[in-house]
Amino acid sequence: MQNNIQLFIENQQSEGLFEITIDKYISDIKQFYRFVKLKEDKDIEELSQQEIKVQFDNYIKHLEKEKYKPSTINGKISIINKYLKVLGVECRHNYLKVQKKLYIENVITEGEYSRLLEQCKGNKRDELIIKTLANTGLRVSELLSLAIHDVDKEDIHVKGKGGKYREIILPPQLREMLKTYIKDYRKNTDREKLFTGTRGALTRDAINKMLSKYAKKGHVKKVKAHPHSCRHFFGKRLAQNGESLDMIKTYLGHESITTTSIYTQRSKEELERSLGRNFI
């Protein structure tokens, strides 16, 4: 098993995936291995296609019984399919069919955004991190890759999902705020990175903890205390301002316009308010 997993890691690294993404893949593969029943000294690729299919089917049924979300199960199916393909195993599991949701989840509202900013008043770095996420649509890995000199560049390119580079735009007001932060507030604990702490460049974990802290203080749901909620907030703002889906897709680096189309949907809170006004 270990040799096969190492082969998979090397394959994914060659495709430019981030280490944290690969680690998630490996976690799901190991979960699959803990469930499947293999004879001693035998690995998955040594089973017949029918045997693998039975094991895979049983694994998915187990996840459904354990009440995993359909989207989570489909994510695991995708990873195991990738893993088997790397091993040269001709066995693919179909995804669960899920009805399209009527609303977009885990996107902060304008009020929640204001409350997050209110809670970090006095901490210019944290305030600028939230404003940068919400006004650029950056993923957290992309945010952490920003360097000091990027703020003065006319063209800023970040390495996104799948190792693809895309250009981002800093709104003029945000750019000036970042320049002031660099001059007056940034801790000089790292020579290059834009956002730093007392121990050096900030990490993904530090950003997540920071958002969780302010969300709790500002009475924002825990499920929304995540950098990606700010990315969704940015996308929804663009859609509400009449920006075309093609433009939003390109800017956010989406593979499919179907992904981008979620920003034309209402949030769950908006739908609940609408139902509350019109019924009973």
CATH of the domain at 9: 1.10.150
Under the banding of pLDDT at 50, 70 and 90, the label for residue 73 is: very high
The pLDDT of 233-254, averaged and rounded, is 91
Domain final residue pick, 20, 55, 86: 86
64 and 115, same domain (yes or no):
no
**132 or 272: whose pLDDT is higher?**
132
Under the banding of pLDDT at 50, 70 and 90, the label for residue 103 is: low
117 and 248, same domain (yes or no):
yes
47 and 122, same domain (yes or no):
no
169 and 121, same domain (yes or no):
yes
Structural domain range at position 123: 104-276
pTM above 0.75, yes or no: no
Domain final residue pick, 86, 113, 131: 86
**67 or 160: whose pLDDT is higher?**
67
137-176 confidence digits (pLDDT tens): 999 999 999 999 999 998 899 988 878 899 999 999 999 9
- Rounded to whole angstroms, the Cα distance separating 124 from 129 reads 9
Count structural domains, the chain. 2
Under the banding of pLDDT at 50, 70 and 90, the label for residue 114 is: very high
Q: Where are the strands (E) in the chain, listed by range? A: 103-104, 156-159, 165-168, 196-197, 200-201, 266-267
CATH of the domain at 199: 1.10.443.10
40 and 76, same domain (yes or no):
yes
Identify the pLDDT of residue 45: 78
- Rounded to whole angstroms, the Cα distance separating 150 from 159 reads 13
| Residue 215 falls inside a structural domain | yes
129 and 223, same domain (yes or no):
yes
For residue 131, the tally of other CB atoms under 10 A from its CB is: 20
The pLDDT of 251-261, averaged and rounded, is 87
| Residue 98 falls inside a structural domain | no
Q: Which residues are catalytic?
A: 139, 161, 228, 231, 254, 263
Identify the pLDDT of residue 205: 94
Identify the pLDDT of residue 158: 93
118 and 240, same domain (yes or no):
yes
**208 or 11: whose pLDDT is higher?**
208
- Rounded to whole angstroms, the Cα distance separating 142 from 256 reads 20
